[in-house]
Structure 1
Amino acid sequence: MTRVAIIYYSSGGTVARLAEAVSAGAASAGASVRSVELPATDLEPIDRALAALNWADGLVIGTPACFGNVAAPVKRFIDATWTLWEQEKLADKAVAGFTAAGSDHGGHETTLLALFQSVYHWGGVIVPAGYGDPVVRRVGGNPYGVSAKAHRDGSVDAPALDAARYLGRRVARFAALIRQASVVAPSVSAS
C-alpha cells in the first residue's frame, strides 16, 4: 500500500483544515496516511514528523505564508531532514505543498516555490497541482500547489477544500507510480 505523510504547521486553523482535506483525498485514493502537525516552538520535538517522512512514499507539506515564505516551524522541520537526506532516504518521494495567507496576494506562490527549493536538494519529485482538474481553477488557479485565503475564524472555502482533496489524491497516485517503478527498475548508484 502506498504511504502518504501530511506534515504541516497551522497558526490559525486554516492550514489544519486543508491538511484534513489533503489526508482525506490521499486516503480516498487507497493510500495509508499519517498526518503530523508540527509544533509552534523549537522546545517541542519533531521526531514524529521525521519518522513520518522516512515512512512515506509521498509527502504533502502545509504552511502558512509568512511574508512570502514558509513558516518558521516548517523551516525548522526541513532543516532537520539533513540526516535522512544524507542517507538518501528523501530521493524519489512524491512531494506537494499547500499554503494559506490572509489575503489574495499574500505570497501563496512564493511560499510554495520556497518550499520546493529544499525538495530539489532532496531529490524529491515535485507534484504540482497543475491545471488538470477544474477544481484548481475554482480556488484561484495556483499551479504550484493548493492555496487558500486564511479567514480570521479559521474557516476554509469549499473550493479550497475540494482542491486539497484533489492534491491528496494526486500525490497518492504519483507516489504509487514511483513506488511501482522503483520495484520494477531499482535505482542504481554510479560506480
Structure 2
Amino acid sequence: MATPTPTPTPVKLAVVYYSSTGTIAALAKEIAGAAERAGAEVRLRRAHELAPQAAIDSNPAWARNARETADIPEATPEDVDWADAVIFGTPTRFGNVTSQLKQFIDLLGPLWAEGRLADKVYSGFTSSATLHGGQESTLLALYNTAYHWGGIIVPPGYTDPSKFVDGNPYGTSHVDAQGENPVNETALQAARVQATRVVRMTAALKAGFTS
C-alpha cells in the first residue's frame, strides 16, 4: 500500500504594523486578507502606541484610526515566534522606521539570541506623505534587521505586470499627501501581489525544510 502524502500545514503569517493616520492600517488589512485567500493562517497585529494621548487627539485622522483599530490585538514577540513569515508595515519617518515599530522589533532580542528568528521569511511595506519621501530607504532600513536575524527577505520585485505601475520592487508603498490621497487600487494591488508572493515562497521553503 502506498504511503499517504502528508497534507502540508498552512503557512503561518504575522502582519505586524504601526499606523498613525490609517494608511498603513489599510494596507495591512489588504495584505492580511490576500494572504488568507492564498491559504495562509494570518495574525494581524498592531505595534503598541508610544505617542501621548494629547498628540493623538490633536490630529483627527490619528484619533479616528486609533478608535477604528482598537479591536486589533497588539503585537507580542510570541506572534513572531509563531510565524513562518512576517510582513512588517511602517510609515517612513525621515527615511527610517517609526519608533513604535522599532521598539517592537527591539523587544525581539531574546528570540534572536535563541536563534528563533532565523530562517523565517520577512517582507515590508510603507507609506510617506510626499513623493520620494524615503519609502525605499525605510524598507531597506527595515530589512537590515532581518539580515542580523538570519532571515530570508522576500520582496515583491518586478514579478507581476502591476509592479511596473506602482514602481516599487522593495515592498508595497503609497504616497498619502498628508491624507489627501487615500489608499488607491494601485497600492491595494501591490499589497495583494506582495502577500501572495510571500505566502507562496514561504510554502516552498517549508516544503523544502521538511522534505
Asked if these proteins are the same fold (TM beyond 0.5), I'd say yes
Does 1:58 find its partner at 2:89?
A: no
Aligned residue type for 2:78: A
Q: Does 1:159 align with 2:186?
A: yes
State the secondary structure of the residue aligned to 1:30.
coil
> Aligned partners of 1:164 and 1:134: how far apart in 2?
14
SS in 1 for 2:19: coil
Unaligned runs of 5+ in 2: 1-9, 53-72
Tell me what 1:148 maps to: 174
Partner of 2:118: 91
Q: CA–CA distance in 1 between the matches of 2:162 and 2:37?
A: 17
Task: Name 2:59's counterpart in structure 1.
Answer: none
Q: Residue in 1 aligned with 2:57? A: none
* Structure 1 pair 145–121 and aligned structure 2 pair: CA distance change class (3 A): same
* Pairing partner for 1:33 from 34, 42, 46: 42
User: Are 1:79 and 2:106 counterparts?
Assistant: yes
Aligned to 2:145: 118
Match of 2:63 in 1: none
**Contact kept in structure 1, 2:45 and 2:74, CA below 8 Å:** no
Alignment-derived partner of residue 19 in structure 2: 10
Query: What is the alpha-carbon distance in structure 1 between the residues aligned to residue 91 and residue 185 of structure 2?
Result: 18
Name the aligned partner's letter for residue 174 of structure 2: A
Matches of 1:133 and 1:50 in 2, distance apart?
32
TM-fit CA distance, 1:154: 7.2
Over 3 Å counting, the alpha-carbon distance change for 1:178 and 1:42 in structure 2 is farther
CA contact (8 A) 1:22 1:165 kept: yes
Question: Structure 2: how far apart are the matches of 1:48 and 1:40?
Answer: 11
Checking the alignment, whether the CA contact within 8 Å between 2:35 and 2:196 is kept in structure 1 is yes
Residue identity opposite 1:143 in structure 2: P
Identical columns (%): 42
SS at match of 1:53: helix
Residue identity opposite 2:25 in structure 1: A
CA distance in 1, matches of 2:104, 2:202: 21
Structure 1 stretches of at least 4 aligned residues deviating more than 2 Å after TM superposition: 46-49
Give the length in aligned residue pairs: 181
* Runs (5+) with no aligned partner, structure 1: 185-191
Q: CA RMSD in A?
A: 1.7
User: Conserved in 1, the CA contact under 8 Å of 2:46 and 2:75?
Assistant: no
